[in-house]
Structure formats: C-alpha cells, structure tokens
Structure 1
Amino acid sequence: MSEAALPDAGAALIAAKAALRTRLIAARTRRDAAERAYAARALGAALGALPELAAARTVAAYVPVGSEPGPADLAAVLAGSGRRVLLPVLLPDNDLDWATYDGPDSLTAGARGLREPGGRWLGPGAIADADMVVVPGLAVDRHGMRLGRGGGSYDRALARLAPGAFTAVLLYDGELLDAVPAEPHDRPVRAALLPGRTVRFGPTAPPGSG
C-alpha cells in the first residue's frame, strides 16, 4: 500500500465504525420496554455470578442510561459485600475522572444525559485501583474488540488499568459480532455478558482456578 493510500484507509475505517454505530444504536432504540427489562435482570444475575466480582475489592463501572443494557442500579448491584465502586465523570476532553459511588442519592446529572457521582474526584488514574471494570459498549467481536460510541474515553481509561484487571462489557443479544472495525488505540475486553450467556476472550480463568 502506498503512503498516499494510508489516509484513505484510515478514513474508511472511521466511516465503517460510524456506520456500524448508527445501525446498532438504531437497533437498541427499537427494543421494547419488556425486552430491556428482561435484559437488565439477566445481566444483573450474570454479573452476580462472576467469580471475578466475588474476588474484587474495587470495581469501576458506570450508570446505564437510555437504551444501554444493564440494571439501572448497576452500581448498587456491584457494591454488595462492601465492595468499593468507582463511577466515571466525563471531562471536557472526553477523558474520564472517577469518584466513589456513595448510594443512589449521590448521583447527579452529567454531560450528554449521563448520571455521574457527586463526590470528590479522584483523578483519571484512580481506575488503576480497580480489580474489575464493567465497560459500556455497542458491540464486541469474537476477539474481544469492543465498539464504543466514538469518544475514546474508555480506550484511554483501560490503558491505565493494572495488569490482570478483569474487563467485561454488557450487551444485548445480537451484539456479539464476528468482527468490529478496530484502530490501533482500541482496547479489547476479556468478557462479554449477554442476557443468555457469558463469553470469555483469551486467558480469563476465574480467580483461584490455577
């Protein structure tokens, strides 16, 4: 490939991502309330069954909004057994700061319709304390490559994780794809939780199994 062709290839990849995002978001908006409620219950149960969650002391997550899959009280689900939960705060440059979840009354309205923690910000590097991260996404492929909404927030955050941290994305059925367009900065996840099953990618043996 010539040097002149490289920008065209990059533009084509970005366009492919945008087209796939548009299709997936449209499909999510067509899901009815009953399907979303079923998925929320099933995903909450799947999270509760993860050995990685049982072993975790600190979990980073988010508050699902709109048509995003997962229980609305995701942070509360993860905070069981005295677990510390970190929630993101979206910064103007699309990076993520983090604050500790202190119950549903501590959540405030954030940018772009998000729900964010109202406590003291701990800095973008606070995610390095997380043993497990629940990541939002629109799709994931068979290699664990995740398609997000395009801001790059979580790719930057995941680059700060400690080695061995467990990462999982919550999805609807039909959002596990054979392949998603990926750029060099994109970060894979180690598992996808869908309403009917949990799919693991790569070396993801449960804690204590070795």
Structure 2
Amino acid sequence: MADEIDREKQRIRGLVRERRAATTEVERAEIRDGITAQLITLVTGRGARSVSCYMPVAGEPDTSAFLAWTREQGIDVLLPAAREDGLLDWIRPSWEGNVRGAFGIPEPLGECLSPLAVGDVDLMLVPACAVDRSGVRLGWGRGFFDRNLGSMDQSPPVFAIVHDEEVFETLPSELHDIPVTGIVTPTRIEYVRTER
C-alpha cells in the first residue's frame, strides 16, 4: 500500500512539474499578480501582523511581490532555512541579500531562529505541489514542512499556495502528512479545515 501511495504521489509531482515548466512568462506574471492579491486579502482580512512565507524556487508560486508588500506594511516575516537534519530553521530577513542554503536553495540573510519560532506567527504560508479539498498537502517529498508542523503542540493557521489546477478533490496521504487550514490560488482563498 505504501508503495502504491508513493507511486501516485510521484505521478502527481511529475504532472505538476510539467505544467509549471510549460507556463509562459506572461502566465507567470498573471499568476504572481493573482497570488499577491489573494495573499494581501488573506493577511489583511485576518489582521495578521506576522507571517511565515517562502522565497520561490524552481517554479513555485511567486511570492516575491507579496514579500515586498509585507516590508512596506511593516509585517514581521519569517522565511525557512532547510537544515541537513530535515528540520527548518526560520530567518527574520534583513532584506540585504541571500546566501546559498544547505541544499543550494537561496536563503535570506538575517536573524536565525529555531524550528519552533514559527509557532508564534499569526499565519503560515507554505509552498505545495498540490493540495486537496480536505486539506491534504502534497509537498515535494523531503517532508520539511510536515516535520516542522508535526513538532508543534499548536500551530498557527496554515495556508498552502498553489496554482488553480493544483487543487484536487482527493490526494494520497500518509500519517505523517499534516493537513492545512486553507488554500491560496491566483483566483481564490479557500478554507478547507477548521483551525487547530
């Protein structure tokens, strides 16, 4: 059964990678603008003054314009830094540049905080490969966010950011897959679970 679930997850990841790679520059700009507008609506609607987010890499939904907006608004931001032990540290960025992280992924310069620091933000905004209508989030297979969420007694509301076509009715899941509160796409915000 586990092998079957893993094969299905890999199949979906392959489809999403292909779709994202085929996206044109014009489409990417439209997606970025839509996601920025939806994230601003979510953050302002909830009155969030602190968020965790991510710097986009490898075709992930682009949060760069949203992050620029958070700076203008004085919103406290934490960004993840992957550790080789499979956990995430959190960085309060100085916005003065980036360094190459443990896996070659750009990470911001700034104050480095523990994996549990993210438990104090008002809202977590996480990348995903896909998400389903019950809150199952499919990542890219390394489990960083699931481990981080699983280590907290109580987490803030968690929203997965994906393209519109990456919202599925159901996705394969395992016990270690931590469900999200909601979904943000370029066209909508969708609550899928009650908050913990």
Q: TM-score, normalised by structure 1?
A: 0.85
Opposite residue 98 of structure 2, the aligned amino acid is L
Opposite residue 33 of structure 1, the aligned amino acid is E
Of structures 1 and 2, the larger Rg is shown by 1
Mapped to 2, the partners of 1:99 and 1:164 lie a distance apart of 17
Opposite residue 101 of structure 2, the aligned amino acid is G
Deviations 1:78-119 (A, max 9, x none): 34432210111110122111110222x232232444221222
Q: How many residues align?
A: 195
1:61-140 to 2 correspondences below 5 Å: 61-103=53-95, 105-140=96-131
Query: Which residue number in structure 2 is paired with residue 49 of structure 1?
Result: 41
Query: Which residue number in structure 2 is paired with residue 174 of structure 1?
Result: 165
More strand by proportion, 1 or 2?
A: 2
Distance 1:200 1:54, change over 3 A: closer
Distance 1:178 1:39, change over 3 A: same
Structure 1: give runs of 5+ residues left out of the alignment.
Answer: 1-8, 205-210
Aligned structure 1 segments of 4 or more residues deviating by more than 6 angstroms: none
Q: TM-score, normalised by structure 2?
A: 0.90
Mapped to 2, the partners of 1:64 and 1:113 lie a distance apart of 13
Distance 1:157 1:66, change over 3 A: same
Match for residue 148 of structure 1 among 136, 139, 147:
139
Deviation at 1:77, TM superposition (A): 2.7
Report percent identity of matched pairs.
Answer: 32
Deviation at 1:51, TM superposition (A): 5.0
